[in-house]
Amino acid sequence: MEFDELPEEVRELIEQLDEAAEDEEEEAIEELTEKLLDTGVDMEAITLKKLSLCVMDGEEEMSVGWTKVALKIGIDPFKALLKGLAAGMSLIGDKYEKGEAFVPQLMIASSAMYEGMELLSPYLKANSSGADPSTVVIGTVEGDVHDIGKNLVKTLLSANGFNCVDLGNDVEADRFVEAAKEYQATAVSMSTLMTTTMAEMPKVINMLESSGMRDKIKVMVGGAPLSTDYAAKIGADVSPKDAAGAANWLKTTLSESPSDTENLN
């Protein structure tokens, strides 16, 4: 989707909608959305592209405004999150890796993504079977303060019916184990974006084994420097390629496991 290839009328409406979103003008957003729909353009493609660009540019108000557009035109909330907001974080992440963006831009972009995520959260609820949700202890390992990927995994796990105990970032190994026991967790999810903190993950797994809990708990590890080979080497169950993969894997795995999970007390 290239905006400069769109008809002039459409480009003008998009610019007006940008302004309305930035000024948080609800009625104008709705009115302009209707006008864009009347033009017959591919509103889903436009909206997803705008969401990704708004996040990449750190435009919080515009991220919220275009998220409202996504909901209004009926884009699947999961798609709006993954193909829109999260895609914007991938764009700024690529710039960061190339030295074209720096930590402040990453932080501003993450704030824009979280604003949109908050609006989508009520619509991300999966169908519930009425059973008690499985509990996942989630956090970024000690020494790493990044939490964008962890928060995205948490959002999708919650949307799929899991009860997430978020320990935050820079979490000590024994805190993962303590929380797993305290909340009778069925899974532990650890993340890192730094190769220097990857060694914290096997510490947690070894502690789970020493405490006799490892066989009762699924362990997921994730982050840019990780691989499936590394996950297998340290004794983790999986290293999903993305947040959606984490949620799908855990939901499928637990549905195939015996339901009589033992308490960890």
242-249 — which CB contacts under 8 Å span 24+ positions? 243/82, 243/86, 243/149, 243/152, 243/153, 243/155, 243/156, 244/78, 244/82, 244/156, 246/153, 246/156, 246/157, 246/189, 246/220, 246/222, 247/153, 247/156, 247/157, 247/159, 247/160, 247/162, 248/160, 249/220
Average pLDDT, whole number, for the chain? 89
pTM over 0.75? The answer is no
126 vs 144, higher pLDDT: 144
Q: What is the CA radius of gyration of the chain?
A: 20
Q: Please state which of the ranges 111-120, 174-183, 249-258 shows the lowest mean pLDDT.
A: 249-258
Residue 218 has pLDDT above 50, yes or no: yes
Which runs of consecutive H residues, i.e. helices, occur in the chain?
A: 8-22, 26-38, 43-56, 60-72, 77-79, 86-97, 103-120, 148-159, 173-182, 200-210, 228-234, 243-256
The mean pLDDT of 193-216, rounded to a whole number, is 96
Domains, the chain, with CATH or none: 3-123 (1.10.1240.10), 135-256 (3.40.50.280)
The predicted-structure confidence for 75-106, as pLDDT tens digits, reads as follows 999 899 889 998 898 888 788 778 898 878 88
**What SS3 state is found at 1?**
coil
Residue 67 has pLDDT above 60, yes or no: yes
Give yes or no for a contact between 177 and 211, defined as CB atoms under 8 angstroms apart.
Answer: yes
